[in-house]
A and B are shown apart, each in its own frame.
Chain A
Amino acid sequence: MEELKLYTYIAVFGTFALYFAIAWWARAGSTSDFYVAGGGITPLQNGMAIGADWMSAASFISMAGMIAFMGYGGSVFLMGWTGGYVLLALLLAPYMRKHGKFTVPEFIFDRYYSKTARVVAVACLIIASLTYIIGQMKGVGVAFSRFLEVDYGIGLGIGMFVVWVYAVLGGMKGITYTQIAQYVVMIFAYTIPAVFISLQLTGNPIPQLGLGSTLADGSGVYLLDKLDMVVTDLGFKEYTTDNLGGTVNMFAYTISLMIGTAGLPHVIMRFFTVPSVQAARASAGYALVCIALLYTVAPAVGAMARLNLMNTIEPVAGQNLEYAERPQWFKDWEKTGLLKYEDKNGDGRIQYTADAKTNEMVKVDRDIMVLANPAIANLPNWVIALVAAGGLAAALSTAAGLLLAISSSISHDLMKGILTPDLSEKNELLAGRVVMTIAIIVSGYLGLNPPGFAAGTVALAFGLAASSIFPALMMGIFSKKMSGTAAVAGMCSGIGITMLYVFQHKGIMFIPGTSFLGDMGPNWFFGISPNAFGAVGALVNFIVAFAVLRVTGPAPAHIQAMVENMRIPGNVSAAHDH
């Protein structure tokens, strides 16, 4: 264990030192540097930065674990979180880049000539981003407490300090270059263990191919067939067909995640950092390459981790592992409370089944799968240390991007745009840094004392982005006539119905006991789970907006001319001060 700890310290603090060095080298001098990195990031660099920005602790730590236990149903995350980039590349990014502003609310303000619209957009952005950050901060705390065995709070404090240094100092410029480094750390940390495990199980070093190969044990059985057999024998649903509450729910869930992805402001604002419209289109492609490298490996990690877990517990059919002989990783995770065993039949062996009465693995937290995976597969200690550094890179890079989105929406949209329009550039920069510091402290506090609604936050963040921001942006570009009044009406009803649905099933502000319809399948609208409801919210947004447009009349001529101009890439200048 001592060797592991040493390696982990080297990996974690070595990468931190690297991030600091980059931040110092790329510190921001102007508001343009601070918000859009001076508009001079190349598409490949931007693609890597978007990858790091986008792939959070949830992608790195949780996703493969969710797939491991959901099987085919986990596909909603794979398709949803990548398909959104097609929408971004085709429907939003090039036009928003052409318009050439700093923030998403600013674009909405210009297009809908309405301060109300801007404030609604800022509110959505802050709620979506803050709820998202809480998850990152928790990820940092968990990674530190598990791997370096320091207190959760201290780990979180170290993480806050690291982000503060490079985000406040460097702004978008510092964050972008740091994120490039974090992407590299993250992708190695994710794929190296996957390659080892794929090689062990199937003899094929490429995990994407290994998942479709036969097992290396000489049986000639395909890995997925074996997995289907093992889990159905124990009463679980078949891995490759388990469909997450039905086709309608999966359909709505996938759409919600796709349009939610395309509507998340911290991702969209990345496209303001490249020099041209063509570069914005290319950036979306490179971003998806960088993301796909991890996302196509994740299903292999999930399936192989599940199989390894099952094989550990029941090495030979009918011969379950004796609890006294459980491996070291089992003991380590028991200490964290994320893995629990209860000897129900008193035979001293571990039974893991789908039946709650006989199942003795009373708790197997999904989030431990990626982190425990290298240890389950007996990989060398340096690989485990690398995974720790990768998990931290994923959490920190996403937190930094979100903090920037929050600080720019407050300092640029609320202060400079609405409250104090005569703010000088120097003071706006200062305000941006102060706001960011406050946002770090608030999110650190929320990470330390997670509010009751933390568990429902993913639904909220994606629901808001899907039901309000994405439709507003898309109509703003593809419907010249769309007016401010109609768009605001659409946004408000989209958010309204999504929030109502989430709250009625999950509790008002997620307070337990206040849900008036209960969190249960039979009450769901067409069987659509609250997490998947953003798609319906977006549909309502579109319908209301076009209905109101018919009644109240189209946008003024100069706005229509602006939209026409947005559609043609010519005469693009770098994102400018104004």
Chain B
Amino acid sequence: MEENKETYWSENLRLIFICLTIWFIVSFGLGLLLVEPLNEIRLGGYKLGFWFAQQGSIYSFLGLIFWYGAKMNKLDKKYHAEG
């Protein structure tokens, strides 16, 4: 049991790490730090960096939360940890 708890937790931490990396890239990376080079690329009337800052980051956040929720639900089932 103890071992299960530990692997459950480390798998969870791995998922959190992946999600937060993407979270950082889409907002601080593409929307802020890399905004100038990205603005050279156009997405219709949007400059791409501007689009990430005002639209794309929010859509990515949504995807992340639901993806993490789905992955965690699977993990809960695997370890019989539903509640």
The CA of A461 and the CA of B73, in the complex, are separated in Å by 34
CB interface residues, A 399-457, toward B, < 8 Å: none
CB interface residues, B 40-60, toward A, < 8 Å: 43-47, 50-51, 53-55, 57-59
Question: Is A224 among interface residues, defined by CB-CB distance under 8 A?
Answer: yes
> Judging by beta carbons under 8 Å apart, are A222 and B44 in contact?
yes
On whether A212 and B83 interact (CB within 8 A), knowing A83-B27, A564-B5, the answer reads no
The CA of A443 and the CA of B6, in the complex, are separated in Å by 47
Most chain B CB within a 10 A radius of its CB, from A72, A91, A564 = A72
On whether A78 and B32 interact (CB within 8 A), knowing A83-B61, A90-B16, A292-B62, the answer reads no
- Closest chain-A Cβ to B72's Cβ sits at a distance in Å of 6
The CA of A211 and the CA of B80, in the complex, are separated in Å by 47
Question: Is A296 among interface residues, defined by CB-CB distance under 8 A?
Answer: yes
> Judging by beta carbons under 8 Å apart, are A82 and B54 in contact?
no
A residues less than 8 Å from B44 (CB atoms)? 209, 212-213, 222
On whether A278 and B33 interact (CB within 8 A), knowing A86-B23, A89-B68, A288-B65, the answer reads no
Contact pick for B23, options A83, A94, A98, A282, CB 8 Å: A83
Could you list 12 examples of A-B contacts with CB < 8 Å? Answer: A90-B65, A90-B68, A212-B46, A251-B32, A278-B69, A278-B83, A281-B72, A288-B65, A567-B9, A569-B81, A569-B83, A571-B83
Q: How many residues in B have their beta carbons less than 8 Å from beta carbons of A?
A: 43
Given contacts A75-B53, A564-B5, 18 further A-B contacts (CB under 8 A): A72-B50, A75-B32, A78-B53, A78-B54, A79-B58, A82-B57, A82-B61, A90-B16, A209-B44, A212-B43, A240-B39, A241-B47, A278-B83, A284-B65, A284-B69, A292-B61, A292-B62, A572-B83
Most chain A CB within a 10 A radius of its CB, from B51, B55, B66, B72 = B55
The CA of A224 and the CA of B65, in the complex, are separated in Å by 30
Question: Is A522 among interface residues, defined by CB-CB distance under 8 A?
Answer: no
- Closest chain-A Cβ to B60's Cβ sits at a distance in Å of 9
Taking Cβ atoms with an 8 Å cutoff, the residues of A that contact B are 67, 72, 74-75, 78-79, 82-83, 85-86, 89-91, 94, 98, 208-209, 211-214, 222-225, 240-241, 247, 250-251, 254-255, 276-278, 281-282, 284-285, 288-289, 292, 295-296, 299, 564, 567-572
Q: How many A-B residue pairs have CB under 8 A?
A: 138
> Judging by beta carbons under 8 Å apart, are A224 and B53 in contact?
no
Nearest residue (CB) in B for A258 is B27
> Judging by beta carbons under 8 Å apart, are B27 and A90 in contact?
no
B residues less than 8 Å from A209 (CB atoms)? 44
On whether A86 and B51 interact (CB within 8 A), knowing A223-B45, A285-B62, the answer reads no
> Judging by beta carbons under 8 Å apart, are B32 and A224 in contact?
no
B residues less than 8 Å from A288 (CB atoms)? 61-62, 65
> Judging by beta carbons under 8 Å apart, are A570 and B57 in contact?
no
- Closest chain-A Cβ to B35's Cβ sits at a distance in Å of 8
B residues less than 8 Å from A254 (CB atoms)? 27-28, 32
> Judging by beta carbons under 8 Å apart, are B57 and A569 in contact?
no
B residues less than 8 Å from A225 (CB atoms)? 45
